[in-house]
Structure 1
Amino acid sequence: MNSSLQKRPTLSTIISPEGSLEVLSQHEVNRLHGTSKTGLHDLLRRCALAVLNCGNPTDDSLALMEAYKDFDIEVLQQDRGIRLKLTNAPADAFVDGRMIRGIREHLSAIIRDIVYVYNEIQHHQRFDLTTGEGTTNAVFHILRKAGTLQPGRDPSLVVCWGGHSISREEYEYTKDVGYHLGLRDLDICTGCGPGAMKGPMKGANVAHAKQRRYNGRYLGISEPGIIAAEAPNPIVNELVVMPDIEKRLEAFVRLGHGIIVFPGGVGTAEEILYLLGILLHPDNHETPFPLIFTGPADSAEYFARIDEFLVYTLGEDVRRYYSIITGDPVDVARKMRHGVDDVAEFRRHHQDAFYYNWRLTIARNFQETFEPSHAAMQALRLDRAQPTHELAANLRRAFSGIVAGNVKEKGIRAIESHGPFRLQAEPELMRRLDALLTSFVAQGRMKLDGQDYIPCYVLN
């Protein structure tokens, strides 16, 4: 835990929502007020504090909560809607006593999504989350409620994945790529945090201004455990909080028209394995989905290690699904523009929606929520005597558990109580997994700059 995190000045106030929740029925107001006072209060409090702490970098959600133990949020019921009562909120979220508008929008989006999911998805009989169809339908409805699905737009949404803890050179490169994507009328979707999630948005924002593209999209998709550790960066103008990591990942691939992967750590490896596991499914063989791994020239060795690990675990055929380009942001943007155009043509030919990829098949082992307990992590099957897309699913879960142990409050507490997670795999796969994870640690990709990393896992 980052025990050096210091509490900054605080402020108590009452505000109105912004960008969400302004128009509510009396029934919705009653339900929102009631839900926020019961089982969801702690979740709302943790996520709200992370958003209000935007601009003060930390990826330790437990340390943040301990630094602001006296922070609280309450939904106040009024005849004309709701207001939000904040007690001892970080003062950096305000200017001359008024909350920064973007932070107010993000705060409203968090309340909208968490309470909507609780009331309308998780506790509603019309969504069967034990089936693939029911899960995909639930993801659709969450995104539609958030206003994310925009049927009037041609395909343009490029998902950018990468680490929150990256070098300055890598960060500048992500901005360059985002800039050249923006010049080609492409929009950006990321996990909404710092580092490689912020850089592409920042670059695209400048390019959109030059092109006089006034409706540029900077979409951030998170989930409660992640957003409590990685607050949305200020450029995000659309924020969606999915209920868990699996639905967050499905939202990325259902919404995105192409994906770019920048250097990162275990979270990035998790995302790569998720997408490749889906693309390797026989039903998706002919579905175009441009995927580019890229970074500055010095990242060539990093991607060589990723490529080597993927080929060993998933087979030589996996290389047909991605390209590796280093040191050339213009080439990346051009290839992605062509790839998105191919996606548009494919969907026109098949009369598919531009705004949601219904056609993509996602197996249940990629949709089922994985709770990374010590028993669950040790029970993961990590061997090559299983179909490649199933091995990809189990490796994805292993990396997801390490992410939880690194930055999520629940995972951090589990590690403090019971020691590191234990993973077991066949000897050669274990050796390669150990080499990959060790390289992430050596390159400082596990935690934000300036923080020492103590591994939350042991390989047996």
Structure 2
Amino acid sequence: MDTQVVDARISPNGSLDVLSRLEVTKLLNASRGDLYPLFRNSSLAVLNYGDYLDDGRELLERYKSFDIRVIQEERGIKLDLRNAPASAFVDGKMIRGINEHLFAVLRDIVYVDDTIHNNPRFDLSTSDGITNAVFHILRNAGIMRPRTNPHLVVCWGGHSISPTEYDYSKEVGYELGLRGLDICTGCGPGAMKGPMKGATIGHAKQRLYTGQYLGITEPGIIASESPNPIVNDLVIMPDIEKRLEAFVRVGHAVIVFPGGVGTAEEILYILALLLDPANSRIPLPLIFTGPAESAGYFDLIDRFITETLGPAARQMYRIIIDDPITVARRTLEGVHQVHQFRLKTDDAFYFNWMLHIDPSLQLPFDPTHAGMRNLNLHKDQPPHLLASNLRRAFSGIVAGNVKDTGIRAIEEHGVFEISGDAGIMEPLDSLLAAFVEQKRMKLPTTAYNPCYRLIAQ
């Protein structure tokens, strides 16, 4: 286990170059007060690029002596790092992309705490207030490109995928890049890295030099999904719900590659949106795809969706197996439909304001043992609300698998108990068992012990 560390003092490149004294004071407070643990842990995850541990707690324990502080100078700020992972440096200098990601962490954490959480203008108990906050966080990060036509494709999929699945995601990304489409992912390894890597080649062949490779993450997951080196725009949202909303607000189409419970959570989130009658007119193309070896995986997903949410949910997506060119063509067609709809309705190209998101998808879900036990997993509710509650169940399993707080909660109180109708629990049990068998719960080098127990009522 390589735990070589270095000390360094680094300067920002970009948005934090020029600061007022008041802004410097706020940044100083971030490295000294209540925000410090969040700032430290997220920064460590960024610095740990390339060493994917699949366990947020393991990373924190491996680098217990790591420390990071904001240093004030007359010309602005610097970051003082002690015992930082040596892999973030080349010949004594920090890799430029990691430097940018590190200051993005500082930018977003301070902005959210100072401008969003402590500002009466943002009512985070209401749907409109949450959407307004998501918009301002993204705008502050500078990721919106208002004077361009829609062309941002959100790619979801697992960090624990096979080499064949990873190579396939690169091929799809390449075909998307050839067609001038940009990529947005959860910023980590696996199916989050592959499409970006392929798109860089496609863009290069078309001599497109302004490609956007947007990574959207949140503090609870960043330690197990450190930003990959291709990400050129990084945003840290406050929680998983705002992260998911950010994806669907800025994206113009969604492609889902094979994955595990995190990917299933994302699928259920977008199905909850598409099944909501309030969104029946709004186009949001959704494609599931993978290589030939993944056909069985999507059969499982398709069966689970049909058995739990009904046949109407099956009409919300298209499954395309082992055909990157068709995936790219259908995606481009979908993006053109989105373009025409936004023109007709006078909605912004860079932010989907018209999309209705139910509060059950927006209000943060704390995956405590009580919260998981009390989930409403019964069929006596509209399909879009059932999808929302199933999303929360998968979110809790993600927390128990890889998040520091979730892992500690399982160790202290035992596994999560998830109960519901037999017609939901049985398909859920089959899907989760397949994830375990196919080693999709955690990285293949990691033994998996379930963090949940299913109870059919």
TM interval, shorter chain, is over 0.9
Which of 250, 254, 262 is the aligned partner of 1:259? 254
- Note the C-alpha offset of 1:346: 0.7
**SS in structure 2 of the partner of residue 292 of structure 1:** strand
Farther off after superposition, 158-167 or 44-53: 44-53
1:215 equivalenced with 2:210 (yes/no): yes
- Note the C-alpha offset of 1:20: 3.1
Counterpart residue type for residue 102 of structure 2: L
1:425 equivalenced with 2:420 (yes/no): yes
Aligned 1:30-429 pairs, distance under 5 A: 30-429=25-424
Distance 1:34 1:63 in 2: 27
**SS in structure 1 of the partner of residue 320 of structure 2:** strand
Farther off after superposition, 399-408 or 421-430: 421-430
Counterpart residue type for residue 212 of structure 1: R
Distance 2:323 2:289 in 1: 8
Farther off after superposition, 73-82 or 392-401: 73-82
Distance 2:141 2:237 in 1: 10
Distance 1:59 1:43 in 2: 18
- Note the C-alpha offset of 1:8: 1.4
**SS in structure 2 of the partner of residue 424 of structure 1:** strand
TM-score, normalised relative to structure 2: 0.99
Maintained 8 Å contact 1:26/1:79: no
Distance 1:152 1:118 in 2: 30
Identity among equivalent positions (%) equals: 61
Maintained 8 Å contact 2:276/2:384: yes
Distance 1:89 1:135 in 2: 35
Distance 2:100 2:338 in 1: 32
Offset from partner CA, 1:47-81 (integer Å, 9 cap, x none)? 11111110112111101111111001001122221
Counterpart residue type for residue 13 of structure 2: E
Distance 1:302 1:9 in 2: 39
Counterpart residue type for residue 373 of structure 1: T
- Note the C-alpha offset of 1:298: 1.6
Distance 1:20 1:377 in 2: 40
Counterpart residue type for residue 230 of structure 2: I
Distance 2:15 2:95 in 1: 15
Maintained 8 Å contact 1:291/1:323: yes
TM-score, normalised relative to structure 1: 0.98
Runs of 4+ in 1 over 4 A off after TM superposition: none
Offset from partner CA, 1:328-368 (integer Å, 9 cap, x none)? 00000000001001100110111111000000000100001
**SS in structure 2 of the partner of residue 335 of structure 1:** helix
- Note the C-alpha offset of 1:7: 4.9
Counterpart residue type for residue 322 of structure 1: Y
- Note the C-alpha offset of 1:401: 0.4
Distance 1:267 1:353 in 2: 29
Structure 2 portions without partners, runs of 5+: none
- Note the C-alpha offset of 1:428: 2.5
Offset from partner CA, 1:353-398 (integer Å, 9 cap, x none)? 1000000000100001000000100110111111111111110000
Distance 1:34 1:237 in 2: 27
Maintained 8 Å contact 2:24/2:77: yes
Distance 2:314 2:407 in 1: 35
1:29 equivalenced with 2:24 (yes/no): yes
**SS in structure 2 of the partner of residue 259 of structure 1:** strand
Counterpart residue type for residue 221 of structure 1: I
- Note the C-alpha offset of 1:19: 2.8
Which of 2, 15, 20 is the aligned partner of 2:15? 20
Offset from partner CA, 1:406-448 (integer Å, 9 cap, x none)? 1110001101111111100112211110000000010010111
**SS in structure 2 of the partner of residue 159 of structure 1:** strand
Distance 1:57 1:226 in 2: 12
Maintained 8 Å contact 1:36/1:115: no
Distance 1:312 1:157 in 2: 32
Distance 2:8 2:327 in 1: 46
Distance 2:424 2:138 in 1: 38
Maintained 8 Å contact 1:20/1:105: no
Farther off after superposition, 305-314 or 399-408: 305-314
Structure 1 portions without partners, runs of 5+: 1-5
**SS in structure 2 of the partner of residue 356 of structure 1:** coil
Counterpart residue type for residue 200 of structure 2: N
**SS in structure 1 of the partner of residue 315 of structure 2:** helix
